[in-house]
């Protein structure tokens, strides 16, 4: 009501502030991406000679072709894709099961488990590197993609579980009870009724875990050394040598690294924005 | 169709008991309404019959076969939820046919069953829609359709009308009743709305604090409430209560009220001299009269005209009483009046046990 009572001048001010703030945010969020691309397409000889310009006087794709052909980056990408994809899949599977149980069942020790999971989120990761290394070495999991998957899964499952639990909490219990009365087992009701409704949550969780694993540097740096198992964030550091930094190739590699994450989010964005439960219950 | 027997059924969550020794026999084809305030255990009892809650002790049988340990899907019952619980990612048709699809019924049989149900419930034009594109009343019908299409042994209703507006509720009330007459299926209906209970039930089960308070036909419950709780819960406007002490006078008894008035009591074998009594009188059994020997002086507090009738709130000493009349009394708030009662229609309860004292009427 109050909105309609506002004068035209007031509405223009409101509108300007609203979109002005959005524009500031977008600029802040997207400018680094633009700069990444701009440096990636700037020939090395112009990088330091032209000074700071919004666009170079000459453009080149050489940095991209060099990254793809002359370096180990294709291998790093594949490693990152394997590690991130596996972590996302396994974490989401575990988180969905755990989140469903937290959301639907009452059992002894549930509160303790939840508190323990919260506690795991309270430590800075740096503190844990030495003990993790100590645990993984005898198991032969250092310097391997599997080791990274195990570590990333362990660290992502608690948060992903809370995320999934909140999605299950949003789906009325009545739905699976109705399905059970209609003739499903509890598992059948979960798969046929609850699962399709949780797709947005599953997509969000997959996306969250995937990006976290895709950009993780600390553990990848500490646990992996042979090029066969290096992931792309560690690979980026190879452009930094003792005497120089190859910014052009580094930015090109960084830009290429964005592509899989972008494709992944493009695929799941349909589910992220869907409000499937609308109309399930009175509304 | 089925008869349902509940024997000594209890339900506890940890140390908290929510149902205590429930005994109930439901006849084949009967429409039973479980009624009571929130938290009385009526929904829990319904969910135990559905198999959604475990029975802590005692037994529940359908057609004399104990079903305590059967999962919901094997009990052959249908349930209509308060929230409707329609599957949001399925069309109306898929919602209605889901149970039959799960049972792998032949396609032609499913199609004809869905058609039959949708014409009974007036859903023919809506079969392709998703639940979110339906109004509250339509969703309610789909939920009913989903239950009917299976031709189950028994129907369970968990406050199915409480999300509808008053007019639609009234309409659906009579439709459910008609449907029951047509299908003649054993039905158990949970509500906190005593009007739904009165209008729909073959028998009402009044519940409070996990105990069954009374089982009877609507009029039995209305005319002879077993205790103060049932008397106060059933009936709208609610029954008036006056506290006092019975004292013998001549052949019978009268009530000496806490406010110092005397009310002549009907005969009852349970009455004793100096016994504390709660007197119940329904608003329609009180009337405003000229001053007389059996009248009580009162002050008019509030007059609520309701078109068809008028509800007059009066105060007799400290007791507030409601009087229901079809007249339109020409009195103003604040005036002094006299109130009389129909002696034969008075209800008496032992103030200690709150149980009914039988009178010959």
Residue A24, in any domain of the structure:
yes
Instruction: For residue B360, name the pLDDT band (cuts at 50, 70, 90).
Output: low
B90 to chain A nearest CA, in Å?
9
User: A280, B163: Cβ pair inside 8 Å?
Assistant: no
In this structure, is residue A136 part of a structural domain? yes
- Tell me whether residue A283 is in a domain: no
| Tokens matching residue B170 | 């009234």
Nearest CB among B79, B83, B134 relative to A172 is that of B83
Q: Give the whole-angstrom CA distance, residue B46 versus residue B34.
A: 9
Indicate whether A268 pLDDT > 80: no
User: What is the average pLDDT value for chain B, to the nearest integer?
Assistant: 92
Q: Residue B186: is its pLDDT beyond 90?
A: yes
Local confidence band at A262 (pLDDT 50, 70, 90 cut-offs): confident
Residues with Cβ within 8 Å of A154's Cβ and at least 6 positions away in sequence, in order, are none
At residue A3, the pLDDT reads: 52
Alpha-carbon span A272 to B320, nearest angstrom: 58
Which has more confidence, B359 or B183?
B183
Domain finish residue from A29, A62, A95: A62
Output the pLDDT for position B347. 94
Give the whole-angstrom CA distance, residue B90 versus residue B315: 57
Rounded average pLDDT over B188-211: 94
Q: Are residues A96 and A58 in the same domain?
A: no
- Chain B residues whose CB is inside 8 A of the A185 CB are 71, 73
The pLDDT tens digits of the residues spanning B130-143 come to 999 999 889 999 99
Most confidently predicted of A142-146, A250-254, B225-229? B225-229
Say how many C-beta atoms besides its own lie within 10 A of residue A205's C-beta: 27
Q: What is the mean pLDDT of residues A21-29?
A: 95
Residue B164 CA to residue B160 CA, distance in Å, equals 9
> What mean pLDDT is predicted for residues A174-203?
91
- A84 and A36 housed in the same domain: no
Residues A44 and A123 in one domain: no
- How close B96 gets to chain A, by Cα (Å)? 10
Q: Edge-to-edge strands of the sheet including B65-66? A: B16-26, B4-13, B57-62, B65-66
* Smallest Cα distance from B166 to chain A, Å: 16
The answer to whether A62 contacts chain B (CB < 8 Å) is no
Query: For residue B211, what are the β-bridge partners?
Result: B208
Task: Decide if pLDDT at A276 tops 90.
Answer: no
Q: Tell if the CB–CB gap between A181 and B131 is shorter than 8 Å.
A: no
Neighbour tally for B17: CB within 10 Å: 15
Do A125 and A149 reside in the same domain of the chain?
A: yes
Of B226, B219, B225, B223, residue with least CA distance to B201: B219
For residue B81, the chain A residues in CB contact (below 8 A) are 174, 177-178
Task: Say which residue, A67 or B338, is predicted with more confidence.
Answer: B338
Model confidence pLDDT, tens digit, residues B311-355: 999 999 888 999 999 999 889 999 999 999 998 899 999 999 999
Q: What percent of chain A has pLDDT over 90?
A: 43
B204 to chain A, any CB pair closer than 8 A? The answer is no
Per-residue confidence at A4, pLDDT binned at 50, 70, 90?
low
Q: What is the pLDDT of residue B284?
A: 95
Distance CA A153, CA B118 (A): 50
From chain B, pick out residues whose CB is under 8 angstroms from the CB of A178.
79, 81, 85, 87, 146
Tell me how many degrees the CA angle B70-B76-B80 measures, rounded to the nearest 5. Answer: 110
Q: In chain B, which among 132-171 make CB contacts under 8 A with chain A?
A: 132-134, 136, 139, 146, 150, 163
pLDDT given for residue B68 in this prediction? 94
Average pLDDT, stretch A166-176? 91
A126 lies in the same domain as A233 = yes
CATH number at residue A108: 1.10.3720.10
Question: Is A121 a residue whose pLDDT tops 60?
Answer: yes
A181 to B132: CB separation less than 8 angstroms, yes or no: no
pLDDT at A269: 75
Structural domains present in chain B: 4-233 (3.40.50.300), 240-357 (2.40.50.140)
Do A200 and A121 reside in the same domain of the chain?
A: yes
Distance from CA of A138 to the nearest CA of B (A): 46
My answer on whether A97 and A186 are in the same domain is yes
CA distances from B62 to B5, B6, B211, B223 (A): 6, 9, 21, 31
Range of the domain at A12: 2-62
Confidence (pLDDT) at A151: 93
Residue B179 clears pLDDT 80, i.e. is over it: yes
A277 part of a folded domain:
no
Note the pLDDT of residue B216: 96
- A18 and A53 inside one domain: yes
For chain A, what is the mean pLDDT? 87
B61: nearest Cα among B11, B20, B22, B4: B4
The least confident of A91-105, B264-278, B296-310 is: B264-278
**CB distance B347 to B272 below 8 Å:** no
The verdict on A81 and A179 lying in the same domain is: yes
Q: What is the DSSP letter of A274?
A: -
Across B221-233, average pLDDT? 95
Q: CB of B48 within 8 A of CB of B23?
A: no
Token duo for residue B118: 């949708």
- List the single best residue of B47, B79, B85, B113 to mutate versus A (max A Cβ within 10 A): B85
CB contact under 8 A, A175 and B73: no
Calculate what percentage of chain B has a pLDDT beyond 70.
Answer: 99
Per-residue pLDDT for A280 more than 60?
Answer: no
pLDDT greater than 90 at residue B50:
yes
What contacts B239, CB < 8 A, 6 or more positions away? B225, B231, B232, B280, B281, B282, B283, B347
Would the pLDDT of A2 be above 60? no
Report whether pLDDT(B97) > 80: yes
- Report the C-alpha gap between A104 and A198 in whole angstroms: 14
Measured CA to CA, the distance from residue A19 to residue A38 in angstroms comes to 26
Among A64-78, A89-103, A152-166, B217-231, name the one with the lowest average pLDDT: A64-78
* pLDDT value at B293 more than 70: yes
Q: Who has greater pLDDT, A55 or B302?
A: B302
- As a whole-number percent, the residues of chain A with pLDDT over 70 amount to 94
B145-171 per-position pLDDT tens digit: 999 898 899 999 999 998 888 888 888
Sign of CA pseudo-dihedral A212, A218, A222, A227: positive
User: Is residue A280 situated within a structural domain?
Assistant: no
In degrees, rounded to 5, the angle at the alpha carbon of residue B260 between the alpha carbons of residues B258 and B261 is: 105
Mean pLDDT, range A9-34, rounded to an integer: 93
**ipTM of this predicted complex?**
0.84
Beta carbons of B73 and A180 less than 8 Å apart:
yes
Contact A181 B130 (CB under 8 A): no
Residue with tokens 């793809």: A68
A34 and A102 in a common domain? no
Got the DSSP string for B172-190?
Answer: HHHHHHHHHHHH--EEEEE
pLDDT of A224 over the 60 cut: yes
**Dihedral Cα B118, B119, B120, B125, nearest 10 deg:** 60
CA–CA separation, B338 and B157 (whole Å): 46
Lowest mean pLDDT among A56-65, A90-99, B38-47, B219-228: A56-65
Closest to B138 in 3D by CA, of B154, B150, B126: B126
Interface contact B50, partner A, CB < 8 A: yes
| C-alpha distance from B22 to closest chain A C-alpha (Å) | 23
Indicate whether A275 pLDDT > 50. no
What is the pLDDT averaged over residues B88-107?
Answer: 93
Of A62, A79, A114, the domain-final residue:
A62
Q: How many domains does chain A have?
A: 2
What local confidence, expressed as pLDDT, does residue B163 receive? 85
Interface test with B, best of A171, A176, A181, A277 (most B CBs within 10 A): A181
- Among the partner-chain residues B73, B103, B139, the one whose CB lies closest to the CB of A181 is B73
Whole-angstrom distance, CA of residue A26 vs CA of residue B126: 44
Where a domain ends, among A42, A62, A82?
A62
Considering only residues 155 to 174 of chain A, which have any Cβ-Cβ distance to chain B shorter than 8 Å? 172, 174
Contact A181 B52 (CB under 8 A): yes
CA of B235 vs chain A CAs: smallest distance (Å): 29
What's the confidence (pLDDT) of residue A126?
Answer: 84
- Could you tell me which chain B residue has the CA closest to the CA of A179? B99
Contact B131 A280 (CB under 8 A): yes
Contact A177 B72 (CB under 8 A): yes
Res. B93: pLDDT tops 70: yes
pLDDT beyond 90 at B358: no
The pLDDT > 90 percentage for chain B reads 71
Give the pLDDT band of residue B309 (cuts 50, 70, 90): very high
Q: Are residues A195 and A124 in the same domain?
A: yes
> How is residue A3 written in tokens?
């909105």
Looking at the domain assignment, is residue A45 inside a domain?
yes
B161 contacts in chain A (CB < 8 Å): none
Query: How open is the CA angle A15-A19-A21, to the nearest 5 degrees?
Result: 120
B71 in contact with chain A, both atoms CB, cutoff 8 A: yes
Looking at the structure, tell me whether residues A109 and A181 fall in a common domain: yes
Under 8 Å between Cβ of A239 and A250: yes
CA–CA min distance A3, chain B (Å): 29
- Of the candidates A178, A185, A278, the beta carbon closest to that of B132 is on A278
* Chain B nearest-CA residue for A172: B85
List the one residue out of B236, B230, B214 whose CA is nearest residue B306.
Answer: B236
Contact B73 A279 (CB under 8 A): no
List the single residue in B with minimal CA-CA distance to A274: B89
A278 in a structural domain: no
Residue of B78, B83, B102 with shortest CB distance to A174: B83
Q: How far lies A103's CA from each of A99, A111, A162, B289, in Å?
A: 6, 12, 10, 62
Question: Does residue B34 have a pLDDT over 50?
Answer: yes
Up-side HSE of residue A65: CA atoms within 13 Å toward CB? 4
Question: Closest by alpha carbon to B238, among B283, B207, B195, B208?
Answer: B283
Determine how many CB atoms are found less than 10 A away from the CB of residue B37.
12
Contacts of B98 in chain A (CB under 8 A): 179, 182
């Amino acid at each position: 009501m109050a909105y309609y009572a506002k004068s035209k001048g007031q509405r223009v001010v409101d509108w300007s502030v609203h979109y002005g703030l959005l524009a500031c945010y977008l600029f802040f969020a997207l400018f680094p991406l633009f700069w990444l691309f701009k440096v990636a397409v700037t020939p090395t000889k112009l990088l330091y000679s032209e000074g700071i310009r919004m666009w170079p006087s000459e453009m080149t794709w050489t940095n991209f072709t060099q990254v793809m052909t002359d370096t180990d980056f294709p291998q790093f990408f594949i490693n990152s894709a394997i590690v991130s994809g596996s972590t996302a899949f396994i974490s989401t599977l575990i988180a969905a099961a755990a989140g469903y149980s937290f959301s639907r069942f009452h059992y002894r020790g549930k509160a303790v488990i939840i508190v323990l999971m919260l506690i795991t989120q309270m430590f800075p990761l740096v503190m844990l590197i030495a003990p993790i290394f100590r645990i993984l070495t005898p198991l032969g999991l250092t310097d391997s993609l599997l080791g990274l998957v195990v570590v990333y899964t362990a660290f992502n499952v608690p948060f992903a579980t809370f995320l999934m639990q909140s999605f299950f909490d949003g789906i009325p219990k009545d739905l699976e009870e109705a399905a059970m009365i209609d003739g499903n087992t509890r598992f059948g009701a979960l798969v046929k009724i609850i699962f399709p409704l949780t797709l947005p949550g599953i997509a969000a969780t997959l996306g969250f875990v995937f990006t976290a694993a895709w950009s993780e540097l600390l553990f990848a740096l500490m646990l992996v050394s042979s090029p066969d198992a290096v992931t792309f964030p560690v690979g980026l550091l190879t452009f930094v040598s003792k005497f120089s930094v190859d910014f052009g190739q580094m930015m090109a590699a960084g830009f290429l690294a964005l592509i899989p994450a972008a494709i992944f989010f493009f695929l799941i964005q349909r589910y992220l924005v869907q409000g499937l439960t609308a109309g399930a219950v009175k509304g | 169709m089925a008869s349902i027997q509940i024997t000594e059924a209890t339900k506890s969550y940890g140390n908290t008991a929510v149902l205590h020794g429930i005994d109930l026999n439901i006849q084949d084809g009967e429409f039973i309404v479980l009624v009571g305030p929130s938290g009385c255990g009526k929904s829990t009892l319904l969910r135990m019959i559905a198999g959604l809650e475990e029975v802590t002790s005692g037994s529940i049988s359908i057609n004399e076969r104990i079903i305590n340990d059967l999962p919901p899907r094997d009990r052959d019952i249908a349930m209509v939820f308060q929230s409707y619980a329609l599957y949001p990612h399925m069309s109306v048709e898929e919602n209605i046919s889901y149970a039959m699809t799960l049972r792998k019924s032949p396609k032609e049989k499913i199609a004809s069953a869905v058609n039959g149900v949708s014409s009974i419930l007036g859903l023919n034009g809506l079969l392709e829609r998703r639940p979110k594109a339906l109004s509250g009343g339509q969703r309610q019908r789909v939920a009913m359709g989903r239950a009917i299409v299976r031709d189950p042994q028994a129907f369970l209703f968990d406050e199915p009308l409480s999300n509808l507006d008053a007019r639609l509720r009234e309409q659906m009330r009579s439709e459910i009743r008609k449907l029951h007459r047509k299908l003649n299926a054993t039905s158990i209906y949970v509500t906190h709305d005593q009007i739904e209970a009165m209008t729909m039930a073959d028998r009402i089960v009044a519940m409070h604090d996990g105990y069954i308070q009374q089982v009877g036909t609507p009029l039995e419950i209305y005319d002879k409430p077993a205790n103060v709780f049932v008397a106060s819960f059933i009936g709208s406007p609610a029954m008036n209560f006056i506290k006092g002490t019975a004292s013998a006078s001549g052949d019978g008894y009268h009530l000496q009220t806490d406010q110092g008035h005397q009310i002549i009591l009907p005969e009852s074998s349970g009455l004793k001299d100096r016994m504390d009594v709660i007197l119940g009188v329904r608003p329609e059994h009180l009337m405003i009269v000229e001053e007389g020997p059996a009248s009580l002086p009162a002050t008019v507090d509030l007059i609520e005209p309701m078109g068809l009738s008028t509800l007059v709130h009066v105060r007799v000493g400290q007791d507030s009483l409601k009087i229901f009349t079809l007249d339109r009394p020409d009195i103003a708030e604040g005036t002094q009046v006299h109130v009389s009662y129909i002696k034969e229609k008075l209800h008496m309860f032992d103030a200690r046990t709150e149980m009914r004292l039988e009178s010959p009427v």
